[in-house]
Structures are given as structure tokens and as C-alpha cells.
Structure 1
Amino acid sequence: MQLDVSVRKKQGYFQFAAEFSLTGQRVGLFGPSGSGKSTLMHLLSGLLKPDSGHIRLDEAVLYDSAAGVNLPPEKRRVGVVFQHAHLFPHLSVRRNLLYGWRRTPEQERHIQPEAIIEVLNLAHLLDRGVNLLSGGERQRVALARTVLTCPRLILMDEPLTGLDEELKFQIIPYLNKVFAGFDIPLLFISHSLLEMRLMTEQVLVVEEGRVLREMGTEELAQSTWAASRQGYVNLLRLGRPVPQGDLWSYQWGSVRLVLTDEGENEENIVELDAREILLFKRHPEATSARNLLPCTVRKIFTAGNRVRVELQCGSRQLIAQIVPEAMRELELIEGGEVVAAIKASAFRRLG
């Protein structure tokens, strides 16, 4: 996706201005409530008209004040999934799904209903009324209905807000399967850094009606570590578990990790606090930690009395947090070798 935007919009006392050009498939709009994220979404989708500027998506001009172009929403092929599903209450799940697909020109129908029904596990819901669905089921149906319009871009406006944590992390793997499997660009809007890290690769940071900067999602996460006293949390995507005595072994890149918890999905997402990782100069003779990973130090960053150590562990990266005294005792240098020790109980499974 190539998205080129230069727009201004005034609404009462609130003034919004955005100027950016980006290329990417999984992009986030990140910022606090009231910063202008939803305003930008409405401008892109055609639900709100800018005062001036232009919006170009790939080769299509969606809006250009100088040229007098302002495509209506139905002509933009930009799908929107709101925080509330907005399904048609008088239609079944099946008829909700087919509503947009049947109105999409045949030459643009490159996604078939059967395919999205399988990916989002909706087959058993097709004949059910939408008022009988759970919150997570409603969001999956809303996403499937939007995907079946075969859009050039999908906007998701705080789609996980209001869902409890367990439900939220049940839906995220479905979302990732859809956007990976159907190769649809995503603009994901949220004020949650965790959701950004799980759903996007790059982020536009929005504050007080301005798009301030574009950066990688993990770069954003690491920048918050430097700016606050909060610790950094690693997010790890693990495969299916295999029993290992009383514990569970998971594939993580080129290595295996041992955890206390059994995951239930093809992809299991876990958190690991950077402060839970112990570093050794060489392989320890004995330790209670079940995970001992040979790693290379990629970068070292110091902020006050905290040191962030970026590690290359096989084909994956980890970040550990230690204190300056430990850094000196370990004689850490970029390119040096260390062993990362992690207890099996240090991981927290999401969902």
C-alpha cells in the first residue's frame, strides 16, 4: 500500500492537520483519546470531507481539493470496521456476510465467501441471528463482511476496545490470519501499545490533531522504556506446545523454550518482562532456570540506573534489563557473547 496524505480539517475548536507518505501493509495510528485518530479515519474513508489537501491511495485519487475530486465512500473501496460491529440486526450471519459481496462488481471479487468463513471459523454461525452472537463473534462477522467487499484498504477503529482480555487475545490470531492470508493493507487505530505491537509493523503517532512522526512499532515500544520508569515487555510468538515432563516445550525461531503453561493455539503469544532475564558470561554449572539461551549482544542503551541490552538469540531477538553495575561486571560490549537464563514460570500467556 502506498498512502499519500496532506489534509486539514477544522471542527469547532479542534483543528486537525496531517501530512505523510507511507508504504506498508500493517500500519497503526497510535495516540491518546481525542488526538485525532478517528478524524483521520473518517477523512480517509470519505465519511468526513477535508477542508483542503489531497488523499491518494496507490494509483487512486480519493480526494483533491485543487482538482475538485471527492470520491464518495462507496467508490473508495476503503473498508471500515468500527469498535461496535454495526451488523444488520434483521439479517442472519450469512446474509450479513453476503450483503457487501453481492454489491461488489464481479471483476473486483477476488475473495470468496467460503475462504473467509473458514479462516474466521464462522461456518457454525451462518444461520444464527446476529443478536445471539458474543462480542468476539460479532467482531469476526463484521471483519468478514468488510473483507468480502474486497477493499483496497481496511481501517479498524479501536476494534478490541470494550472486549475483556481473554476475548481480545482470542480474536487477534484471527485478525492476523486474515491480513496475512488475503494480503489486504491494514490501518489499525488504537491507544493501546500492546495492541499496536500485536497488529502492526509501523506506526503513525498522533497527538493534539497532528501526525507527529512515523516509526517502527518496536521502536515506539522501546522509546516508551526510555521515557518512563516502566520495564520493557518482550512479546514472543510461539508454536504449538509439546509435553516435556511436567512442563511444555515450544518452538521459538531456531530454539525451543520451556514454559509452565500449556498453550491451545497454533500460535501462542506470551509476554516476558525484560527484568526476568538473567545474563551470565558463560553457561552456568547449575541453575533453576529451564531456559539457557546463548546470545550475542546487539546493542546496549543506558537510561539512569537501568541498562537495556538487546540480544540476538538464534534467529530471534530479546531485550533484557539490568543495572549498570551488572553491565560492568559482565564486561558487556556490543558483539559480545552471553547466556540468557529464563525461568519457565517467567512467561505470561496472553489469552
Structure 2
Amino acid sequence: MLLKVDVTKRFPGFVSQVRFATNTIRSGLFGPSGSGKSTLMHMIAGLLKPDTGRITLHDRVLFDSDQSVNFAPEDRRIGLVFQHAHLFPHMNVEKNLHYGYRRTKSGRNDLNPQQICHNLQLDELLKRNVTSLSGGERQRVALGRTLLSNPSLVLMDEPLSGLDDQLRYQIIPYLQRVTSEYSIPLLYISHNVDEMRMMAEDVFMMGDNGSIIAQIEPDELARGSKETQQRGYLNMIHLTEPSVSGMLVTYQWGASELILVNRGQPSSGLFGLSSRDILVFKAFPEAGSPRNILSFTVGEIRQTEWMVQVELLINSHRLIAEIVPQSLDELGLVSGMTVYGAIKASAFRKLY
């Protein structure tokens, strides 16, 4: 088992009692503020000693209250990336990156600093003072410094929560790339469902009582979250091969095509489409302004607190549309029937 945790920590008025095990490269820890996510991270990293319990990483015992085992943080080989980069202000980017690398014990520093810099696109920043960097650049440097310490596990505690959406989506591809390329296990801690969908293979949900209440797939977490109920489900669509025609761009979406507004310099990437920007028709709409009208097969139909989520299937792809319960009744939607989805060209936004 990659990471196995069974610990208890008591505070005045609050008890953190956590038990979980994961064997995936990228796991997520999701929960509201105050649920104990950061407390758990500190216990795994050795920054906070549990009262009782046991923590193992790659079958190596890091903490065991019964056996009086409690490795110091520097001996656990666990890297930390926080919301704030915590870079050394008196060092430039290059010296920050090499700090952890030079402190790694001989025989363990098998990662190539030049390759890490290339993957994180830090080559042009090496001589810069860290105080002159943007928030996104600082987080990339913090990630690089952590990776170069050659950790057995990386803990990321809300690493993107201080960034706006544009910067957040710029950083996520770097996180995905380096954790996959170097097979470094990751525990990603956040309360953002979209980050969980992009960063985690499975998600452990923490309740207000400081314990794990469920293990769930990231997409299921998103579909049932309060955030989704308030703003709609975000469909994430990989589009390729853009072809420009004036103010419009045609992208390949598997065997289908989607037409988007040309916002300048079109390129392949991941695009977002709200479930509430998809209009569902029982018959082909003869006239209308949407540039995209596609034939779908209805999959699962799921009632949420206020809306109805309708799964729309086309080839090997899936979209989620949301309609009001009255529309479900009027359209007579059932799984397996053919419907048409209409989407405006302006409804898409590029994530990265």
C-alpha cells in the first residue's frame, strides 16, 4: 500500500480521527474549511504528532504510537507545497530550486534539475529574484524545489487557492505533467471540485467531524457538490486541430466537430462548457442562432436538489446538460432516446 493512515489527534472542542489507505499516484483530500485537511497533512509530514495511531508510506513506518516510532520531517522524504510558495527571498530562482536538491542525501538525487526546469518552463527565470515573480511563477518554482528534493510523496495543501482562475488553469498542466512523468505520488488537498477532477484519480472526503466520510471518484464529487448545484456542472472537453474561418474556429472533438468563437490565437487544449449552456431538443431545431447542433443519446438522468442532470452521449464522449424538472416532463426524456443539443459558439472558454 502506497500510503496508509490511521491516526487520532485531539484538540479542545475538536477531534481529528482519520483512517484511509490509497494505492493511486494522485489522490485527493476534499472537505470544507475547518474539517481538518491541513491537520492531517501536518501529521503525515511529521509537523504535528498524532496522539495515537500509525502512518506508513511504501510500507515504511513513519509513525507508530505503540512502537514509539516518529520520524522527523526531514527523514520522511515528503515534499510540501502550500498555498503560499514560501520561497527564500534572499535567493534567486536557481538557488531556490537547488536548495532541496543539494540537501538530498547522496544516491537519492536522481532527478535532473535541467529537465525539471524545462518541464516547468523555468529556464528563463533562473536568474530572476523571486520577489519579482508572478503568483503562478512562484508556485512553479515552489513545485520545482519540492520535486528536486526527490520526495517519496508530495503533499499539496490548497496550492492554487490564492490564484485567479486564469493562473490556476495555467499551473494545473505543469502539476499533471511532472507528477505523471516522474511517477511521484501526490496527495492533493483542496475544496475546489474542478481542481479535484483534474488532479486526482480518487478523492477522500472529510466531514465536519474531522474524519473521512467517503471515498469517491472526482467526477461524482463534482456532480453532487453544492458548488455544482449553484453554478452548474463544468464539462471539460479536449479539442484539437483548430481551423479558423473568420470569427469562428472549428475544432475536432473525436469524430465530431465543434464551432467556437475565435478569441485570437486558437490552439488545441482543454475547454470548459457549463451544463446550463446546453439546450436540449426532442426534435431537430429548424432555425436558431447556436452554431452547434448535435445528435445525442440520453444516458443517465439524475435529479439534484434544484435541477435535473441529463447525460448526453455521442461517440465515445459525454456531456452533462442541466434542465429544470418541468422540462424533463415536457420532453419525456428517458435513457436511450435520441435528442439534439444546441450550444452557442460563445459558450466555451479555454481552461488551458
TM-score normalized by the length of structure 1: 0.91
Cross-structure match for 1:18:
18
Amino acid at match of 2:338: E
Amino acid at match of 2:292: N
Within a 5 Å distance, the mapping from 1:116-131 to structure 2 comes to 116-131=116-131
Give the CA deviation at 1:311.
Answer: 1.9
Cross-structure match for 1:309:
310
Greater shift, 309-318 or 258-267, is seen at 258-267
Per-residue CA distance 1:273-322 (angstroms, 9 max, x = gap)? 21221223454444422223332222112346732111222222111112
For the Cα contact (< 8 Å) 1:241–1:262, is it kept in 2? Answer: no
Instruction: Measure, in 2, the Cα distance between the counterparts of 1:254 and 1:106.
Output: 51
Amino acid at match of 1:269: L
Gaps of at least 5 residues in structure 1 are none
Give the CA deviation at 1:254.
Answer: 3.9
SS of 1:32's equivalent in the other structure is coil
For the Cα contact (< 8 Å) 1:225–1:231, is it kept in 2? Answer: no
Give the CA deviation at 1:10.
Answer: 1.4
Cross-structure match for 1:148:
148
Closer, same or farther: CA 194–132 of 1 in aligned 2, 3 Å? same
Closer, same or farther: CA 142–264 of 1 in aligned 2, 3 Å? farther
For the Cα contact (< 8 Å) 1:18–1:210, is it kept in 2? Answer: yes
SS of 2:85's equivalent in the other structure is coil
Closer, same or farther: CA 157–73 of 1 in aligned 2, 3 Å? same
Closer, same or farther: CA 36–254 of 1 in aligned 2, 3 Å? farther
Cross-structure match for 2:3:
3
Cross-structure match for 1:53:
53
Give the CA deviation at 1:92.
Answer: 1.9
Instruction: Measure, in 2, the Cα distance between the counterparts of 1:299 and 1:251.
Output: 25
Instruction: Measure, in 2, the Cα distance between the counterparts of 1:305 and 1:129.
Output: 50
Amino acid at match of 2:235: N
Closer, same or farther: CA 32–95 of 1 in aligned 2, 3 Å? same
Closer, same or farther: CA 140–230 of 1 in aligned 2, 3 Å? closer
Gaps of at least 5 residues in structure 2 are none
Give the CA deviation at 1:36.
Answer: 0.4
Cross-structure match for 2:224:
223
Aligned pair 1:159/2:145, yes or no? no
Closer, same or farther: CA 283–300 of 1 in aligned 2, 3 Å? same
Give the CA deviation at 1:263.
Answer: 6.8
Closer, same or farther: CA 183–254 of 1 in aligned 2, 3 Å? farther
Give the CA deviation at 1:141.
Answer: 0.4
Instruction: Measure, in 1, the Cα distance between the counterparts of 2:163 and 2:177.
Output: 20
Instruction: Measure, in 1, the Cα distance between the counterparts of 2:96 and 2:306.
Output: 56
Greater shift, 30-39 or 304-313, is seen at 304-313
Give the CA deviation at 1:132.
Answer: 2.0
Cross-structure match for 2:293:
292
Closer, same or farther: CA 163–310 of 1 in aligned 2, 3 Å? same
Within a 5 Å distance, the mapping from 1:19-34 to structure 2 comes to 19-34=19-34
Percent of residue pairs bearing the same amino acid type: 50
Aligned pair 1:280/2:308, yes or no? no
Cross-structure match for 1:268:
269
Aligned pair 1:104/2:101, yes or no? no
Per-residue CA distance 1:114-163 (angstroms, 9 max, x = gap)? 11111111011111222222221111000001011121211111111222
Amino acid at match of 1:156: M
Greater shift, 218-227 or 146-155, is seen at 218-227
Instruction: Measure, in 2, the Cα distance between the counterparts of 1:11 and 1:325.
Output: 49
Greater shift, 317-326 or 131-140, is seen at 317-326
Instruction: Measure, in 1, the Cα distance between the counterparts of 2:108 and 2:273.
Output: 43
Per-residue CA distance 1:47-71 (angstroms, 9 max, x = gap)? 1111111111222221111222212
Greater shift, 179-188 or 32-41, is seen at 179-188
Closer, same or farther: CA 297–6 of 1 in aligned 2, 3 Å? same
Within a 5 Å distance, the mapping from 1:168-247 to structure 2 comes to 168-208=168-208, 209-224=210-225, 228=229, 230-239=231-240, 241-247=242-248
SS of 2:88's equivalent in the other structure is coil
For the Cα contact (< 8 Å) 2:229–2:304, is it kept in 1? Answer: no
Greater shift, 74-83 or 170-179, is seen at 170-179
Give the CA deviation at 1:213.
Answer: 1.1
Per-residue CA distance 1:187-210 (angstroms, 9 max, x = gap)? 111122232223223211112212
Cross-structure match for 1:77:
77
Greater shift, 255-264 or 69-78, is seen at 255-264
Instruction: Measure, in 2, the Cα distance between the counterparts of 1:297 and 1:260.
Output: 27
For the Cα contact (< 8 Å) 1:240–1:265, is it kept in 2? Answer: no
Greater shift, 148-157 or 104-113, is seen at 104-113
SS of 2:107's equivalent in the other structure is helix
Aligned pair 1:251/2:252, yes or no? yes
Instruction: Measure, in 2, the Cα distance between the counterparts of 1:290 and 1:220.
Output: 31
Per-residue CA distance 1:90-131 (angstroms, 9 max, x = gap)? 222112111211222343333211111111110111112222
Closer, same or farther: CA 261–53 of 1 in aligned 2, 3 Å? farther
Cross-structure match for 2:333:
332
Give the CA deviation at 1:270.
Answer: 2.9
Amino acid at match of 1:2: L
